[in-house]
Structure 1
Amino acid sequence: MILIVDLCREVESLSKYEFVDPIAGIVSRAGSEIEVVHFSELTPELIEWSDRIILCGTPLKDDLYSRRIDLFAWIDGIEKPLLAICAGMQVVAAVFGGGIVPQPKIGLERIEIVKETDLLGPPREIEGYHLHNFGVTLPLGFDLVAGRSGQIEAFKHAGRPIYGIIFHPEVRNRWVVERFLDLG
């Protein structure tokens, strides 16, 4: 079962249709069973029973998740594959001691993949859709996968299958979510 975590401000908000449901659709079409849960309703059982976890993005002015990092302490001990998208990447960075920093960006941008990973493949340029007010600083124990210092587009934990991407794959790069589902 793939656990999809809604990071939007409110349970069942309209923003869920834009940031969560498209991810759930990609996962469902790939044939995976899903459970969609708002971050305020996560339970240890749901986390334990899931095979993979996806933390979804949020609207530009929605940053409640960043004031409730305490609800995400479980990420520090996770060993299963986790994909953190936009706001999710900010959560992962904060849990592991990185920072959430101002970095507004809207629209299609070139993304330079600088390190090969199972998620994004070999170094090359891709185009991705950005919709965020904040970026991250690289936490200790993570490798820069795409972007550069001060403009981190993607990172990966050095020893665990934890990935963060600041762009929205549900808009232009559905293959990223599909590859995540195939990670060993």
Structure 2
Amino acid sequence: MGDKQGFRFHGGRPSVNFTATVGERWRDGGFERVPDPAALGRWFTAAGLTPEDPPCTAADLTAARELREAVYRLLRGGTAGEDVATVNRWAAHPPPVTTLAVTPAGLRARPVPASVPSLLGLVAADAVAVLGGPDAARVRECANPECSLLFLDTSRAGARRWCSMGSCGSREKMQRYRSGDR
């Protein structure tokens, strides 16, 4: 989904999708999909966590990357205390707020512009829910050797192999078909 610089949302959960802001991790550190603070703001909006890009600073970007890497290591089976502490510290931030507004059409929910700490808190709280619950056993890494994306396997059999059937899965099947290994 998207080009090399585009965001990927095949993970099934915001925290898993957040780890995909680094692409091709298998290639000497991969490449950064959030190279600057504005890109971080765009990711929050593209992920559906806020209706508009929040203003982000260089410090916000550094904090987001620290959280992202801690979540990634934990999703890959790590148990380092500093990673757990990082996720817990961010999960303690209050989530974005929605207020009630009186409009000509009646009462409507209205999101308050979200702050980066509240959005990172939302991502961290999602990571806590994934890692601390039954979904932890269903986190997988894409079977495509040129993809390093993590995803939550929600298939009934728990046997999903690719981050996306539309990209990695179809490429794999096409390669098998061309090689005669059907």
TM-score range, shorter chain: under 0.3
Q: TM-score, normalised by structure 1?
A: 0.27
Q: TM-score, normalised by structure 2?
A: 0.27
- The structure having more radius of gyration, on CA atoms, is 2
Larger strand percent: 1
